[in-house]
Structure 1
Amino acid sequence: MPTPLDDWFIREILVHEAPLMQFLVRSAPSRDEARDLRQEVYARVYEAAGKALPQQPRAFLFATARHLLADRARRGKVVSIEPVGDFEPLHVLIDEMSPERWCGGRQLLRRLADAFDRLPDRCREVVWLRRVEHLSQREVAQRLGISEKTVEKHIAKGMRLLAGSFYGGDGEARAPRPRDGGADMEVAMEPDGQRQSD
């Protein structure tokens, strides 16, 4: 016997299967993977709807798909560890934390904290609530008195700026320079205070 949630899911979500598949096929390496992604999107939407029905089901469906694809892309950047039959010949101490790894981890954390601190105030607040405190988009919107669409825009902007800081060139986020070369442009400086050469 279908539940009210099942009826809602069929009426509001499954009707968008064709455009969802087109979106996933464009983004996934294969059609089979797109089908797997579709099922995972459906599972996430159904689970979330069990807690609270989204006000805009189609937008929620596609936002879920985008987040899933972003998660997959991030995981794809992580170096996979191939299983090895016997660890003994490798003489690997699994739990050993070398000073280099420890220091490298601290430097990465410092870079991330610096990039996070450079985000605009409201954007930083939204990213913190959404990604660190794991509040839902709706909860963030309610807490800050803004729309869910604004939350979504701040998250996208924050992630773009953080990624630009972290992976863009030397890792420093800079304000875009005016094209007219005006006197009010911000000059990028090296850590020792010297002006960078372009």
Structure 2
Amino acid sequence: MLSPSSGKYASYSDVDLLAALRTDDQGSFAEIYQRYCYRLFTLAYQKLKSRETAEELVQDLFENLWNRRASHDIQQLEQYLFSALRYRIINYIKAQQVRAGYELYCRLGASEADSNTEDALAVNELSTALLASVRKLPAKTREIFQLSRLEQYSVAEISGRVNLSEKTVEYHITKSLKLLRSYLRDFLMLVVAGFWYL
């Protein structure tokens, strides 16, 4: 929990706050948080309609800002914060799309014992398609995708494990989701259409 910033920081410009933040000044960080937290949360909530998810994305954004305070090269604080949040929202939505396909696979798999031969074939086909799609990913992208989406590591944790910058890790995650959607799009549309008509 952040302690409130002292009154002196309220008069600081964003440029002054960033300069102070680079020197590990916790008061400047608290002021940035107070200045932008509610507006960022409001944007995330409007896009995702989930209070919990909106809070998590905003907290992750501020945690990243603090952890990388010395290395950030931010010119416009407000523009940076809102752009970074939009990027997180897009990544979250993309991850949900991949997860939805995987959940459909699990639902079909769970009912396999009671299903007819067509259902069993659909499960096998989807399983094969998912595995083949993941295998098609370039090696580093596949490794980062598995750490992020299957093992639930954060971007910062993955960055440390694979010795790449967080920006590069985010690039690989975005790339993997884009490629998987491309590989699975036609197949999943057929399976989903068939699933709803069972």
Q: TM-score band, normalised by the shorter chain?
A: 0.5 to 0.7
Larger radius of gyration: 1
Cα deviation, residue 133, structure 1: 1.3
Question: 2:123 is matched with which residue?
Answer: 105
Q: Confirm or deny that 1:65 pairs with 2:89.
A: yes
> Could you report, residue by residue, the CA deviation over 1:98-142 in whole angstroms, capped at 9, with x for unpaired residues?
332122111101011111111111111111111111111111111
Deviation beyond 3 Å, 4+ runs, structure 1: 5-10, 16-25, 36-40, 43-50, 52-57, 59-64, 67-79, 168-171
Alignment counterpart, residue 145 of structure 1, candidates 163, 166, 172: 163
For residues 13 and 70 of structure 1, the distance between their equivalents in structure 2, rounded to whole angstroms, comes to: 29
> Could you report, residue by residue, the CA deviation over 1:54-89 in whole angstroms, capped at 9, with x for unpaired residues?
53793653343223433566688899xxxxxxxxxx
Contact 1:115 1:162 (C-alpha < 8 Å) held by counterparts: yes
SS of corresponding position for 2:114: coil
> Could you report, residue by residue, the CA deviation over 1:9-39 in whole angstroms, capped at 9, with x for unpaired residues?
76237516557766876xx5xxxxx6x3577
Aligned length: 148
Q: CA RMSD in A?
A: 4.3
Structure 2: which amino acid aligns with 1:4? L
Q: What stretches of structure 2 of length at least 5 have no aligned partner?
A: 6-28, 73-79, 105-110, 190-198
Instruction: Name the structure, 1 or 2, with higher relative contact order (CA <8 Å, separation 6+).
Output: 2
**CA 73–104 in structure 1, closer or farther in 2 if over 3 Å, else same:** closer
Q: Percent identity?
A: 19
For residues 44 and 170 of structure 1, the distance between their equivalents in structure 2, rounded to whole angstroms, comes to: 28
Cα deviation, residue 6, structure 1: 7.1
Q: Confirm or deny that 1:162 pairs with 2:162.
A: no
Structure 2: which amino acid aligns with 1:121? A
Contact 1:13 1:61 (C-alpha < 8 Å) held by counterparts: no
Please give the TM-score of this superposition, normalised by the length of structure 2. 0.54
The structure with the largest helix share of the pair is 2
Q: Confirm or deny that 1:118 pairs with 2:136.
A: yes
